[in-house]
Amino acid sequence: MTGLGTGIEIVAALERCFAEQENAVAAWHDKTPANAGEAAAPAGGDTTLTGLILAQHFMNFSLWHIEDEARQDDVDDGVIAACKRRIDRFNQVRNDYMEKVDDWLLRALTPLLPAEARLRHNTESLGMAVDRLSILALKIYHMREQSERRDADEEHRRKCREKLAVLVEQRQDLALAVKDLIGEYLAGTKSPKLYYQFKMYNDPTLNPKLYGRKL
């Protein structure tokens, strides 16, 4: 059970989650959780909307910093290979959580949908949009850091302030688009649907470079 009985409550819950994404980025930079890299497994952990969205957000937070490591050009190739494996693992969990967010929202919305909703679908699901909001929260945090760097010149900071303003606007627009999409679902002009990623590269039965070893 979701505990949310109206569209207004669902939208309000999402708005709180979007704010929590921003708060978490700052908090995790101050003190990264001890379970970094082993954040709640897809099969367990907090199954509230906030819990699922923050778990998915933590995957993006972790991926951001692992990808920074992977772009170093002054380390041994073994370090880069290890980063690549971690990226694949985290990205799989990230996508698992994206689907769990979609499933949660679909279950919350279904009882509220009109009986004769139109079979029109959006170009991305709510879970995918939440993932993009997560990434934008990370970009905003790091661009703000760049805009305040004391070891960079004013031209660098100025350009970063301009980019920061664009990122903030884009995140606001996307958050509004999510709320508008929920409104369309509730009005029956579109129908929500759960889409699966079916990532193949981590599956030893689907990646030919993995199952080919047995041939």
Give the burial string for 158-191 (b: 16+ CB within 10 Å, else e).
eebeebbeebeeebeebbeebbebbebbbeeebb
Q: What percent of the chain has pLDDT over 90?
A: 61
**pLDDT above 90 (res 184):** yes
pLDDT for 198 equals: 85
Q: How confident is the model at residue 126 (pLDDT cuts 50, 70, 90)?
A: very high
Give 81 or 50, the one with higher predicted confidence: 50
pLDDT for 34 equals: 64
pLDDT for 42 equals: 41
Q: Where are the alpha helices (DSSP H) in the chain?
A: 7-30, 49-70, 77-109, 126-147, 154-187, 208-211
Give the pLDDT confidence of 6-52 residue by residue, as tens digits.
999 999 999 999 999 999 999 999 887 765 444 444 444 568 999 99
**pLDDT above 70 (res 96):** yes
Give the pLDDT confidence of 148-179 residue by residue, as tens digits.
999 999 999 999 999 999 999 999 999 999 99
**pLDDT above 70 (res 215):** no
pLDDT for 213 equals: 67
pLDDT for 146 equals: 96
Give 98 or 31, the one with higher predicted confidence: 98
**pLDDT above 60 (res 130):** yes
pLDDT for 38 equals: 44
pLDDT for 175 equals: 98
Contacts 24+ apart (CB under 8 A), 89-92: 89/202, 90/37, 90/59, 90/62, 90/63, 90/66, 91/59, 91/63, 91/199, 92/199, 92/202
Report how far residue 147's alpha carbon sits from residue 30's, in angstroms, rounded to the nearest whole number. 19
Q: What rounded mean pLDDT belongs to the chain?
A: 88
